[in-house]
Amino acid sequence: MIDTETRSARIVRFGFLGLWLLITLFPLYWITVTSFKAPGSIFSRPLTYWPTEFSLENYIGLFAKSQFGVYVLNSIIVSTVAATVATLIALLSGYVLSRFEFRSKGALMTAFFVTQMIPSFIALGPLYLLMTQLDLVDNRFGLILIYIAVCIPFSTIMLRGFFANVPDALEEAAMIDGCSRIGALFRILVPVMKPGIVAAFIFNFVNCWNELFLSVTLMNRDSNKTIPTAINGFISSFNIDWGPMSAAAVLTVIPTMVLFAFASRWIVQGLTAGAVKG
């Protein structure tokens, strides 16, 4: 592994890496090409692999036939608010769990870990009934509350890992200089941990943006639907209209891809920190 690589080994290596890159990117390429075809040529043979014509008809149709603009707006509102609040809350809990020892700490960590393993669908029914009692069914605020709760455990675990990499001395020095604990946290630690916090925020945002089953259960009115819920509505009918569907898929995927590309390094760090050490 440290020795020099033979020429043939090198060819095999880059051949494999290239092939996997192709396989990884192809589905995205294909849905994008589909979305820019004229509706007629999507369903015609032979298939064209390069976009010979560049039609926006599917996108225009998507916004004309459905309230796609509303869905996008709902997704942006719900994901941004939920991810922001969840990240702030996880910042506090992650801080406590990384800096202090107390008797119930192990139990708390377990309680957070366990939420990542149980099938969430067991909670779906009771959650619907709970939201009915709170009069928060079919309500964006209600969905935001649930998304915050869903995001907290993992981002706490992730941020705890990032805090562990920052020495105690930093905030102690600030506190000796008269900073309060919370002041030290926000004025000294947060700037140092910016990459980790951004990664946690993006991770939360993408999870909310993609979430389907909770929003399908809770959101009924068309004006309240998020993008995945709306797409789910598109496929409930037996015949999927693949033109607008491909356009919707592209519009859903692009923002999260861009965000992930920015933060992938830190997200990877956050994910592997716990597993490799544990």
**Binding residues among 91-130 for other proteins as defined by CB under 8 A:** 92-93, 95-96, 99-103, 108, 111-112, 115, 117-119, 121-127, 129-130
Minimum CB distance to other proteins smaller for 67 or for 98 = 98
Taking the complex as a whole, the smallest distance from the CB of residue 222 to other proteins amounts, in Å, to: 19
What is the distance between the alpha carbons of residues 266 and 263, in angstroms, rounded to a whole number? Answer: 6
Structure tokens at 133: 């009692």
DSSP 223: G
Per CB under 8 A, the list member of 90, 157, 188, 247 interacting with other proteins is 90
- Interatomic CA distance for residues 235 and 213, integer angstroms: 14
Task: List the interface residues with other proteins, window 133-152 (CB under 8 A).
Answer: 145-146, 148-150, 152
- The tokens of 173 are what? 């020095």
Cβ distance to other proteins smaller for residue 65 or 262: 262
Q: How many CB atoms lie within 10 A of CB 105?
A: 12
Instruction: Give, as ranges, the residues between 233 and 272 that touch other proteins (CB under 8 A).
Output: 235, 240, 242, 245-246, 249, 252-253, 256-257, 259-261, 264-265, 268, 271-272
Site for other proteins in 197-236 (CB under 8 A): 206, 209-213, 217, 228, 231-232, 235
Q: Which stretch binds other proteins (CB under 8 A): 53-61, 66-74, 174-182, 188-196?
A: 174-182
Stretch that binds other proteins, among 43-51, 58-66, 69-77, 218-226 (CB under 8 A): 43-51
Report the residue number, 64 or 268, with the smaller CB distance to other proteins: 268
Q: Which helix (H) or strand (E) holds 275?
A: helix 242-277
d(CA 74, CA 245): 18
Contact 219, 165 (CB under 8 A): no
Compute the least distance from the CB of residue 1 to other proteins, in Å: 5
One character per residue 44-73, x = contact with other proteins (rule: CB under 8 A) = xxxx--------------------------
Judged by CB under 8 A, the chain residues 149 through 168 that form the site for other proteins are 149-150, 152-153, 156, 168
CA distance 1 to 94: 38
The sign of the dihedral angle between the CA atoms of 4, 5, 6, 7 is: negative
- What is the rounded CA–CA span in Å between residue 37 and residue 41? 6
Cβ atoms 214, 146 nearer than 8 A? yes
Chain-centroid distance of CA 263 in Å reads: 11
Contact pattern from residue 13 through residue 42 relative to other proteins, giving x for each residue in contact according to CB under 8 A and a dash for the rest: x--xx--xx-xxx-xx-xx--x-------x
Residue closer to other proteins (CB basis): 20 or 223:
20
CB of 55 to other proteins, least distance (A): 16
Distances (CA, A) of 173 to 46, 56, 170, 177, 180: 70, 59, 6, 6, 11
- The residue with tokens 């020495």 is 167
CB 105 → other proteins: shortest distance, Å?
9
